[in-house]
Amino acid sequence: MKKGAKEFLSVAAAALAVLLFTAAIVLGANAAMERFLKGELEAVMAAVEMPPADYEDEFLQLVRKLEQQEAFYQRYKTRESYHYYGQYYELYNNVYNADVWFIGTSHAAHGVNPLYIEQANPGYSFFNFALNGSNPGFYEDWWEIVLEAGYPMPKAIIWCVDWFMCDDGWLWRRIDFDTAPNMPIDIMRRMKKSQEAKKADEAETKADETEAAKEEVEEPAEKIKVTFRWWDLDQTVRELMSYLPIIASRDRIPDMVRSWFKKGESVQPAMLPEGAAEEKEVCVLPTYKHEYLRDNIGNITSDYYKGFIPWDVPFGGDASTISCHDKDIQWRAFERMLDKFEEAGIKVAFIELPEYTGVKRLKMKQNNERIAEIAARRGIPFYDYNTDDPTGIGSDVSNYSDWGHMSKKGSTVFSKFLAEEMKKILASLGV
């Protein structure tokens, strides 16, 4: 017995030593990754905050904000669907001050291009805040991010509703996907914290500033809290996998290692062409200019524009049957979000984008009737371009990348159509 006990203790001690050694390696690597990511953020921010050589200009500040966004995006362009970083960047940095927002699922993210809509409606600023896999419950958490970021409230929100939007198994997005270390919201929070710390330092160094002025420096907004349920295995694994940057940002390990052996390329501040200050109307704010035209799942990254990004993959048609499993909790979240918009004084309209008509869509009629009932009860206009497709887009397979997502061609046709429809929609909202 004694011999067996000694062997057991010996094995246990060896196992503990291995665990401690492994933990030391992981924690050391994690600290290195944190330093690397922090250094990247500081380098980008320092470059875009450098004063211009000869003048200070509001337009130049907008260029710098976009330059900052591009500098980060280039580091993560190989991550699948990382284009939604641009949506959160706009919320926290307010480049465009959009007063009309589009929200919805990936159907809207890949289907509504603000470029054509703003051309036909020059009195407004548009942005597409739709995100892949988003359901009404996700938008409740997303709204807290909007408030945290301090983005000005819009005049109108165009909710691109879907008949399947309350199936939260199909629509998988949760806010903790975006708040994980070195994901978009986390990057934005670190950037905002750095900016606020810089403001505080500047306030302290100015001898003529009063104590009251120092107190005006805003404290970082309180982060939204995600309820942790230890008995939820899926959430527990997600939390463990995303807690450490060395795990959450493991795709950046090669970049981190390379940075140890050579000095990284510096980010240069933006400089406008000669005479641009006097002729801002001919200057176009830069958007993404990516090294690769597409990411690994077919998003055309170089065509990203104000939240819109075309998804273009071959589609030869589909004759299958599509259905959904509605959750009452999502329908209730939908109504709560409408309450929040009403309380904020934001006008709302619903639109539903056209889908490929070759598939049989069970519950589409039933759920669209439910959306229409909610819209009528609340006085919200509902433009269903899916049940009745005035454009004829739905019958042409070349307009789609699958049965629900429009291709670049389809999104262009629909966005040009919607551009004219928006005149009517905005007039009906009185904004």
Q: What is the pLDDT of residue 282?
A: 46
Q: What is the pLDDT of residue 264?
A: 55
Q: What is the pLDDT of residue 241?
A: 61
Q: What is the pLDDT of residue 268?
A: 59
Tens of pLDDT along the chain (431 residues) come to 566 677 777 778 888 888 888 878 888 888 888 888 888 888 877 777 766 554 456 777 787 888 888 888 877 777 777 888 899 999 999 999 999 999 999 999 999 999 999 999 999 999 999 999 999 999 999 999 999 999 999 999 999 999 999 999 999 999 988 998 888 999 999 888 888 877 777 677 665 555 554 554 444 444 444 454 556 666 566 566 666 788 878 888 888 888 888 765 555 555 555 555 555 444 455 555 666 788 878 899 888 999 999 999 999 998 899 999 999 999 999 999 999 999 999 999 999 999 999 999 999 999 999 999 999 999 999 999 999 899 899 999 999 999 999 999 999 999 999 999 999 999 999 99
Q: What is the pLDDT of residue 10?
A: 79
Q: What amino acid is encoded at 118 in this protein?
A: E
Q: What is the pLDDT of residue 147?
A: 96
Residue 63 domain flag: yes
Residues 6+ away with beta carbon under 8 Å from 77: 290, 291, 292, 295, 301
Which structure tokens are listed for 181?
Answer: 């270390």
Residues 6+ away with beta carbon under 8 Å from 40: 72, 75, 264
Which structure tokens are listed for 360?
Answer: 């049989």
Q: Whole domain around residue 80: which residue ranges?
A: 51-175+185-216+275-429
8-state DSSP, 158: E
Residue 208 domain flag: yes
Question: Any idea which residue has 């005149």 for tokens?
Answer: 423
CB 385, CB 378: distance < 8 Å = no
Q: Residue 311 forms beta bridges with which residues?
A: 299
Q: What is the pLDDT of residue 428?
A: 94
Residue 22 domain flag: no
Residue 20 domain flag: no
Q: What is the pLDDT of residue 126?
A: 97
Q: How would you label 40-64 residue by residue, b for 16+ Cβ within 10 Å and e otherwise?
A: bbeebbebbeeeeeeeeeeebebbb
Q: What is the pLDDT of residue 193?
A: 87
CB 57, CB 77: distance < 8 Å = no
Q: What is the pLDDT of residue 265?
A: 56
Length of the chain: 431
Q: What is the pLDDT of residue 52?
A: 58
- Strand pairing category for 100-104 and 156-160: parallel
Q: What is the pLDDT of residue 180?
A: 84
Q: What amino acid is encoded at 64 in this protein?
A: R
The domain that contains 144 carries what CATH number?
A: 3.40.50.1110
Number of domains in the chain: 1
Q: Residue 213 forms beta bridges with which residues?
A: none
Residue 404 domain flag: yes
Q: What is the pLDDT of residue 224?
A: 45
Radius of gyration, alpha carbons of the chain: 25
- Strand pairing category for 156-160 and 126-128: unpaired
Residue 37 domain flag: no
Residue 226 domain flag: no
Question: From CA 170, how far away is CA 323, in angstroms rounded?
Answer: 10
Residue 38 domain flag: no
